Structure 1
Amino acid sequence: MTDGTWTTLISIGVTVLFMLGVPVFLVIGYWVIGMSFVLGLPLINTGAALADVFTDGFALLAMPLFILTGDLINRSGIAKRLSDFAYACLGWLRGGLAMASLGACGLFAAISGSNSATTATIGSMLHPEMVKGGYDERFSAATAAAGGTVGIIIPPSIIFIVYGFLLNLPISELFLAGIVPGAMMVGAMMLVAFVICSRNAWGHLIQLDFIRVFKTATGAWLGFFAIGLVLWGIYTGKFSPTEAAGVTVGFCVLVGFISLPLFKLLGSPSEERSYKERNIGEYLVVKGFGPLELPRITMRSAQIAGILAPLIAVSVVMQQILSVLGAQQIIGDFVTGMGGYYAVLFTSMMIVFVAGMVLESLPVTIILAPILAPAAHSVGVDPLQFGVIFLVGASIGFVTPPYGLNLYVASGVTGVPYFRLLRYTVPYLISLLVVWFIVALVPTLSTILVPTG
């Protein structure tokens, strides 16, 4: 048989495996190994390429550190304090707890940089509260899933680090470019939540109490400090994004160890009492964790990083094989051949959207970004703006069937079946698509915070 026939058979075979539920890492890995034999490439080259991804990619070291940061702030109680603050600010509106969930997703994303961690953490904390507060359980779970999409847009972002590594763009500038679009995504989803909850009269309203806002803001001070520490260090040049991730992990570990004895001293039952019964001292510390818990927290983070890291590496090798096959040139020529600025831009967006429906954001980014970014740049699209456009599109894939990673995560942490989430996911999906097109049509939304010159 010819090489073309073998390529077709291997591609069909791995597609069948993917449809049967085989993990994406193994599907791509099987394709890479099969194509290596077809093209006569020694397998040692594949092994060397896998190793080079991480030995030569210092920026990628931030990925496992930000994943660990997300677990640490969740276990220490910082994430709960951030959600309490969001609810104090928004609970007086119809659908306030749903909007607070989305706001908490934005705040959590500003520390963790992970979509799945954001969905899992906020979903597990606030879904029971929303159901108890009179919200439909399907809507509550869909809200957590949709809110998690900003996990990779609001900086610091794991996927922005990968994108900057692949396209040789300043990661700190990519972070800045994602702030306004990320805030727009949160705002659009809050509007959807308000409309849906108003129509269904969901949620119990609380009185807007500035004392409660002040106390919960005081309680969230460690979260605000962690966010400020990351952003200050990166944007002032004090440390790189990778070093920022390490500093944040160290800060969270220190907070966890110090807070545990202080929390017990000030009265651990404080979390069960109303805000009026708690004094400011109880708000100043979180529950923390002990040194004996750190190995378990680290192991959980390592398991997640152990899933993502090989996926990145094998996707890079897949990209190299696609280059040998000429696929990158074919796709690039197809996109640039569409015509002018908007034709190329919207064609690229369509490709990202379709790919996001069936693949996780990492392989989508690693495989398509090096192909589509040069095509967009050739018609005048700003590289930073296209990076944001590309990754907002990739994030929408988290709530787009049939893949929809956030939908699976939300289903897992809430117990609501996957297909029951879809009805209330659609309005959020529409709002995210609207924001996506606005970001594409208005370049300054991505570049306004990026210093020029």
Structure 2
Amino acid sequence: MLMFGIFVAMVAMICLNIPIAVALAVSAILGLLVMEGTSSLVTVALDMYNGSTKFSLIAIPMFVLAGAIMNAGGITDRLINFVTCIIGFVRGGLAHVNIGVSLFFAEISGSAVADVAAMGSVMIPQMKKRGYSGAFSAAVTSSSASLAIIIPPSIPMILYATSANVSVEQLFVAGIVPGLMGAAGLMGVAYVFARRYDLPREEAFSGRRLWETFIDALPTFALPVIILGGIFGGFVTATEAAGLAVLAAILVSLYYRQVNLGRLKSAMLDGGMQTAVVMVLVAASVVMGGFLTRAQVPQEIAQNILEITDNKWVILLILNFFFLIIGFFLHSAAAIILVVPIVIPLIVAADINPIHFGLVVTLNLAIGQQTPPVASVLITACAVARANIWEVSKVNIWFILVLLTVLLMCTYIPSIPLFLVEYFYG
């Protein structure tokens, strides 16, 4: 009965437009007061501080900052030129370029919102100018941006690793193959649309032009080498790699001598606000986590589900439906922080690999970023394209089906996300 009252109180506050973090913390404090009295609140502030200052979480603002510097320093433009030379000659070339550049940008920012804001402001106007509809342009940009939370480094993966107490490096490795599969599938759908609507090709393939753009973009390629090479090579942690990414992005931008201070300031402010929201959520989740642990809620949920079935594949199916539904209503950070600590005891009891489950959670939330009413990434793309969200969603459903297919494959063929993990880590 207490849990039901706490849940109703939290939902009521969210419906009154009170920030989720505030609703979460207040509900947890009310629960602690009822259950244990005022003595249980003595360490709340200290617990919130300690929970939001974990070393691994420092990577979040660093990756966001690296992406902001990259976009303001002319790096994104050079990537677009290089990828255009590689695949721009294919029908619907700009759509493929959009997906290809998002795949690369994902390796630096780790944020789908940062990706769609950076790519959308450049690619969507170009696509509309070349005859692509606003709905199609926004759908391609939005769906490809979600690769940023599948391909390493991924901010939701960092949050999951912190919540589930697993290796963020192993999660990053697990995301490589699903991310590449997602990109290939999105390009396949884009090609079908391009053939159906006779979308234009870009410049004809030229080996000389490809070499010129490769040399021009060569310093940019140092960024993923530093980030991913450092992490997978065991030279640095994910947090240290994030700091190196910022330094490398600064040096490359200075090399190009094309830093747009206005864009950099705007991107840094937006990134700072995103980071602040996540950190407040993390702090609030510590209080809720303490309350749920004392009330034995995760253990009870695990026991109730295991009484229904102990088949881990059926449990994964149930959890997939659950995460897909909450993805409609919660941002990825809030969903991870709210739900993962609750279901982890079930994952352990069902003998499900927590790295495998982390990839499943991430893919579910990537789909959630594309499905209204919340759909933070889709809404951002629609705002840039000045397109109606429902018109964009009609097109975007085909790209969502690609992500859903990848989700099902990764859920029921664990070797897809895990074989690289087993190769590198045994």
Same-fold status (TM-score > 0.5): yes
- The answer on whether the counterparts of 1:185 and 1:435 sit within 8 Å (CA) in structure 2 is yes
Q: Which residue of 1 aligns with 2:280?
A: 310
Aligned pair in 2 of structure 1 residues 323, 131: CA closer, same or farther (>3 Å)?
same
Q: Which residue of 1 aligns with 2:230?
A: 233
- The answer on whether the counterparts of 2:281 and 2:337 sit within 8 Å (CA) in structure 1 is no
Same amino acid, percent of matched pairs: 29
- The answer on whether the counterparts of 2:142 and 2:381 sit within 8 Å (CA) in structure 1 is yes
Task: Give the letter aligned to residue 84 of structure 1.
Answer: N
CA distance in 2, matches of 1:247, 1:32: 37
Task: Give the letter aligned to residue 315 of structure 2.
Answer: V
Find the partner of 2:301 among 331, 337, 345. 331
Aligned pair in 2 of structure 1 residues 390, 294: CA closer, same or farther (>3 Å)?
closer
- The answer on whether the counterparts of 1:171 and 1:241 sit within 8 Å (CA) in structure 2 is yes
Shift of 1:166: 2.1
CA distance in 2, matches of 1:78, 1:304: 22
Q: Which residue of 1 aligns with 2:91?
A: 94
CA distance in 1, matches of 2:406, 2:4: 42
Find the partner of 2:367 among 396, 400, 403. 396
Asked if 1:52 is matched to 2:50, the reply is yes
Shift of 1:257: 2.9
- The answer on whether the counterparts of 1:92 and 1:205 sit within 8 Å (CA) in structure 2 is yes
Q: How many aligned residue pairs are there?
A: 421
Shift of 1:293: 8.2
Aligned pair in 2 of structure 1 residues 414, 27: CA closer, same or farther (>3 Å)?
farther
Find the partner of 1:352 among 306, 311, 323. 323
Unpaired runs of 5+ residues, structure 1, are 261-286
Q: Which residue of 2 aligns with 1:157?
A: 154
Q: Which residue of 2 aligns with 1:251?
A: 248
- The answer on whether the counterparts of 1:110 and 1:154 sit within 8 Å (CA) in structure 2 is yes
Aligned pair in 2 of structure 1 residues 452, 257: CA closer, same or farther (>3 Å)?
closer
Find the partner of 2:186 among 186, 189, 206. 189
Q: Which residue of 2 aligns with 1:273?
A: none
Q: Which moved more, 1:301-310 or 1:386-395?
A: 301-310
CA distance in 1, matches of 2:205, 2:413: 35
Q: Which moved more, 1:250-259 or 1:138-147?
A: 250-259
Asked if 1:439 is matched to 2:410, the reply is yes
Asked if 1:376 is matched to 2:347, the reply is yes
Matches within 5 A, 1:262-301: 287-289=258-260, 298-301=268-271
Task: Give the letter aligned to residue 82 of structure 1.
Answer: L
SS in structure 2 opposite 1:177? helix
- The answer on whether the counterparts of 2:80 and 2:101 sit within 8 Å (CA) in structure 1 is yes
Shift of 1:189: 1.1
Matches within 5 A, 1:61-100: 61-100=58-97
- The answer on whether the counterparts of 1:7 and 1:38 sit within 8 Å (CA) in structure 2 is no
SS in structure 2 opposite 1:401? coil
Asked if 1:211 is matched to 2:182, the reply is no
- The answer on whether the counterparts of 1:259 and 1:289 sit within 8 Å (CA) in structure 2 is no
CA distance in 2, matches of 1:127, 1:257: 27
RMSD: 2.3
Shift of 1:167: 2.0
Task: Give the letter aligned to residue 183 of structure 2.
Answer: V
Find the partner of 1:28 among 20, 24, 35. 24
Q: Which moved more, 1:380-389 or 1:439-448?
A: 380-389
Shift of 1:437: 0.3
CA distance in 1, matches of 2:6, 2:337: 21
Q: Which moved more, 1:23-32 or 1:414-423?
A: 23-32
Find the partner of 2:176 among 160, 179, 191. 179
CA distance in 2, matches of 1:36, 1:25: 17
Shift of 1:97: 0.9
Q: Which residue of 2 aligns with 1:16?
A: 15
- The answer on whether the counterparts of 1:6 and 1:38 sit within 8 Å (CA) in structure 2 is no
Scaled by the length of structure 1, the TM-score of the pair is 0.86
Shift of 1:130: 0.6
Task: Give the letter aligned to residue 312 of structure 1.
Answer: V
CA distance in 1, matches of 2:355, 2:7: 36
CA distance in 2, matches of 1:11, 1:246: 36
- The answer on whether the counterparts of 1:234 and 1:244 sit within 8 Å (CA) in structure 2 is yes
Q: Which residue of 2 aligns with 1:283?
A: none
Asked if 1:415 is matched to 2:413, the reply is no
Cα deviation per residue 1:199-225 (whole Å; 9 max; x = unaligned)?
A: 122234432222222222223222211
Scaled by the length of structure 2, the TM-score of the pair is 0.91
SS in structure 2 opposite 1:238? coil
